[in-house]
């Protein structure tokens, strides 16, 4: 079975904070895995493939405010 990680663990593997990863997920810049029920709680379980996909997207995003055209 594949190893799965929480969003907090995925953020640590990506080298960013939990809040940063959650912001990218809510802004839909990073495709997150679907929610799953674990012990009555909804969580996102990230695979290594999901984390690598997010790493590629985040590498192309520059930090800081964006100028509006």
Whether 45 and 5 have beta carbons less than 8 Å apart is answered as yes
Can you give the pLDDT of all 69 residues of the chain as single tens digits? Answer: 679 999 999 999 999 999 999 999 999 999 999 999 989 999 999 999 999 999 999 998 877 777 877
Q: Is the pTM of this model over 0.75?
A: yes
Predicted pLDDT at 67: 80
Return the closest-CA partner of residue 50 out of 23, 32, 37: 32
């Amino acid at each position: 079975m594949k190893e799965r990680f929480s969003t907090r663990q995925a953020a640590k593997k990506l080298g960013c904070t939990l809040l940063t990863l959650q912001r990218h997920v809510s802004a839909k810049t990073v495709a997150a895995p679907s929610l799953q029920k674990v012990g009555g709680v909804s969580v996102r379980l990230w695979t290594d493939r999901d984390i690598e996909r997010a790493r590629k997207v985040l590498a192309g995003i520059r930090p800081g405010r964006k100028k509006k055209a």
